[in-house]
């Protein structure tokens, strides 16, 4: 069963800041959903191939042709903190 | 008179335009007037593109005057689920995290609708990022069922279904990952089709679960469904999963009937838990199809009961990966933080609603070290078993006939428990896992006056036969003439 530490670990992996209340609710709800999902253990699947994709497609190829892409200004227009042609973010590297 | 215009189907509209009886501008104004008057109560739209719609309608007027309509939907006012990118028109996915997002490009289906002449009325409400079955999980507003405003329209394409049923759009597009076109179509009494995975390009559909997502039409009748599918289907070099198979003329064989078709009735779709009213209506519909000349036999899809469990591993797993892009850097909401990780974590905490967070957590857990094989790996294997069920059934029959949902539309707030909400998709999820085409058509009314949906399921890329059977059923029954009284 899922405990507070697991919820905290998964929230960190998922980059989700959870409040204490959210964490408690998440533990309870994920626990019940996973209990339901555990029904899958009843099925013998050892010799079954996994399905990753339902359409039998292999290597969809096209010619390597240079084409215009969307203009930079259009792509930057939705940025929350643009600086010229860059996306500004908090400092990543130390001096 | 204006309200009468909003009762016509798309194919009736283009015929009336061609005869010069009415113009696209008149019809578009009638729809916009109805949206102004009624959508405050219905909540179907998140954005109405009034000026653009009127301009597109005027251009369509001129084409009809010149005797040269642009395409099969010229001048038809349609609505788009707000997870389909529209150039210059905000696309929110009903999420705070994309509240101000204005795409720089059109989804392929939007391009194709424009090329066919459609007038785009606006963007419809959905459960945030298409995660839900009631449209209550929109960050902005719930949508209400036009048949009973105390009830949900279904979801996640609830805005599109309510708009078409309520006379606020002649037709609409939705997206279906585990039933999100078919279930709201059933709840609102309209026709809804999930095409075969790969039939319609997903380019410009904001990704939820990429191995399941498919765009489909919601329409007033089966002919409109065939018409819209013919416009949006086909290969697209911008989506490698859009299969390079020719698109048949879906209208050509529409009236061919069901004589000689073999229909399978899956016994597991009438198991305990189904509303007796729904069961009665669906069994009566099977009898109608038999009287029309179809051969009916019972079949078994033994893995049906495991579909929801498989889906609630695979779809959240894919979603947790797809939604990793909302980090506050390139577009959408940003909440400041001391470093990039804190910024992303705070942005996502503020931007995503409870259901989206739940699914991201569930998916991240299922993919995390130590649990991957037990959950994700096993679910992929059971997905194979679900597909085999259908393959076996389709060796004996041409189409499957089943209920779309186990019950009629429920009340707002009735399914607070996430698992109870998930179980509502029990009859639509298996088809999605197998990638098969399926359509919901109205097949009756409950004692409370709520629509009931009949689901027809086909072999991969067999939409033509699906539409043919749905049309034959629709023509033999009175349900399509019903309209909700919204006043």
The verdict on residue A38 lying in a domain is: yes
Mean pLDDT over the full length of chain B: 97
pLDDT in tens, B295-306: 999 999 999 999
Which residues does B165 contact at the CB level (< 8 Å), separation at least 6?
B146, B147, B153, B188, B189, B190, B484
The verdict on residue A34 lying in a domain is: yes
pLDDT in tens, B196-255: 999 999 999 999 999 999 999 999 999 999 999 999 999 999 999 999 999 999 999 999
The CA–CA distances, whole Å, from B383 to B113, B210, B262, B303 equal: 33, 15, 25, 9
0.90 exceeded by pTM: yes
pLDDT in tens, B111-170: 999 999 999 999 999 999 999 999 999 999 999 999 999 999 999 999 999 999 999 999
The verdict on residue A70 lying in a domain is: no
Catalytic pick among B25, B95, B134, B156? B156
Chain A within 8 Å of B187 (Cβ-Cβ)? no
Q: Is there a contact between A10 and B358 if contact means CB atoms under 8 Å apart?
A: no
Q: pLDDT band for A57, please (50, 70, 90 cuts).
A: confident
The verdict on residue A53 lying in a domain is: no
The verdict on residue A50 lying in a domain is: no
Interatomic CA distance for residues A28 and B358, integer angstroms: 11
Query: Structural domain of residue A29, as residue ranges?
Result: 1-45
* pLDDT of amino acid B325: 97
Residues in chain A within 8 Å Cβ distance of B342: 17, 90
Residues in chain B within 8 Å Cβ distance of A5: none
Chain B within 8 Å of A26 (Cβ-Cβ)? yes
Give kind and range of the element (H or E) at residue B456: strand B451-458
Q: Give the closest residue to B321 by CA, choosing from B364, B378, B373, B365.
A: B364
Chain B within 8 Å of A29 (Cβ-Cβ)? yes
The verdict on residue A90 lying in a domain is: no
Tell me which residue in A29, A54, A92 faces B418 most closely, judged by beta carbons. A29
B95 in active site: no
pLDDT in tens, B361-417: 999 999 998 999 999 999 999 999 999 999 999 999 999 999 999 999 999 999 989
Domain containing A24 — which CATH number? 1.10.20.60
The verdict on residue A66 lying in a domain is: no
pLDDT in tens, B27-71: 999 999 999 999 999 999 999 999 999 999 999 999 999 999 999
User: What domains are defined for chain B?
Assistant: 2-260 (3.90.1300.10), 305-378 (no CATH)
In degrees, rounded to 5, the angle at the alpha carbon of residue A80 between the alpha carbons of residues A75 and A83 is 70
Residues of B (466-485) whose Cβ lies below 8 Å from A:
none
Tell me which residue in A34, A48, A87 faces B384 most closely, judged by beta carbons. A48
pLDDT at A92 over 90: no
In chain B, the residue whose alpha carbon lies closest to the alpha carbon of A38 is: B309
pLDDT in tens, B415-457: 989 999 999 999 999 999 999 999 999 999 999 999 999 999 9
Number of domains in chain A: 1
B81 in active site: yes
Q: What is the DSSP letter of B134?
A: S
The verdict on residue A57 lying in a domain is: no
pLDDT at A93 over 90: no
């Amino acid at each position: 069963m899922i405990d507070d530490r697991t919820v905290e670990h998964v929230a960190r992996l998922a980059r989700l800041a959870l409040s204490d209340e959210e964490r408690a609710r998440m533990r309870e709800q994920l626990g019940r959903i996973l209990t339901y999902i555990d029904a899958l253990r009843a099925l013998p699947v050892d010799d079954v191939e996994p399905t990753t994709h339902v359409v039998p497609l292999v290597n969809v190829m096209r010619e390597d042709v240079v084409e215009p892409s969307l203009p930079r200004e259009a792509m930057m227009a939705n940025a929350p903190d643009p600086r010229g042609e860059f996306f500004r973010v908090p400092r990543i590297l130390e001096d | 008179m204006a309200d009468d215009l909003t009762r016509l189907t798309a194919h009736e509209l283009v015929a009336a335009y061609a005869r010069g009886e009415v113009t696209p501008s008149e019809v578009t104004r009638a729809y916009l007037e109805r949206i102004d008057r009624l959508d405050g109560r219905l909540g179907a739209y998140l954005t109405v593109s009034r000026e653009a719609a009127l301009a597109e309608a005027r251009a369509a007027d001129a084409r009809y005057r010149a005797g040269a309509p642009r395409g099969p939907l010229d001048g038809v006012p349609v609505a788009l689920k707000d997870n389909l990118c529209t150039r210059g028109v905000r696309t929110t996915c009903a999420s705070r995290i994309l509240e101000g997002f204005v795409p720089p490009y059109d989804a392929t289906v939007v391009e194709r609708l424009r090329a066919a002449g459609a007038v785009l009325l606006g963007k419809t409400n959905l459960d945030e990022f298409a995660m839900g079955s009631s449209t209550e999980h929109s960050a902005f507003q719930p949508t209400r069922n036009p048949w009973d405003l105390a009830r949900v329209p279904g979801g996640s394409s609830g805005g599109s279904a309510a708009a078409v049923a309520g006379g606020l759009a002649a037709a609409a597009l939705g997206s279906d990952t585990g039933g999100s076109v078919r279930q709201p179509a059933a709840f609102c009494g309209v026709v809804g089709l999930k095409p075969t995975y790969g039939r319609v390009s997903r380019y410009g559909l904001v990704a939820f679960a990429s191995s399941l997502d498919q765009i489909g039409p919601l329409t007033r009748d089966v002919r409109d469904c065939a018409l819209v599918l013919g416009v949006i289907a086909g290969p697209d070099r911008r989506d490698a999963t859009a299969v390079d198979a020719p698109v048949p003329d879906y209208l050509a064989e529409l009236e061919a009937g069901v004589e000689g078709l073999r229909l399978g009735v899956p016994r597991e779709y009438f198991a305990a838990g189904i509303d007796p009213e729904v069961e009665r209506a669906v069994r009566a519909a099977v009898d109608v199809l038999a009287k029309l000349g179809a051969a009916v036999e019972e079949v078994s899809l033994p893995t049906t009961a495991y579909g929801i469990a498989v889906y609630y591993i695979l779809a959240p797993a894919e979603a947790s990966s797809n939604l990793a892009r909302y980090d506050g850097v390139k577009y959408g909401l940003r909440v400041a933080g001391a470093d990039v990780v804190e910024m992303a974590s705070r942005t996502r905490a503020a931007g995503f609603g409870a259901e989206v967070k739940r699914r991201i957590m569930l998916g991240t857990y299922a993919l995390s070290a130590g649990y991957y094989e037990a959950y994700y790996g096993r679910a992929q294997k059971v997905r194979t078993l679900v597909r085999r069920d259908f393959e076996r059934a389709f060796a004996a029959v041409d189409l499957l006939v089943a209920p779309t949902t186990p019950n009629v539309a429920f009340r707002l707030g009735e399914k607070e428990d996430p698992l109870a909400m998930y179980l509502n998709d029990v009859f639509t999820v298996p088809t999605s896992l197998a990638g098969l085409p399926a359509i919901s058509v109205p097949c009756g009314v409950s004692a409370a006056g709520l629509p009931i949906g009949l689901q027809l399921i086909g072999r991969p890329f067999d939409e033509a036969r699906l539409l043919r059977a749905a049309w034959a059923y629709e023509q033999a029954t009175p349900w399509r003439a019903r309209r909700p009284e919204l006043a």
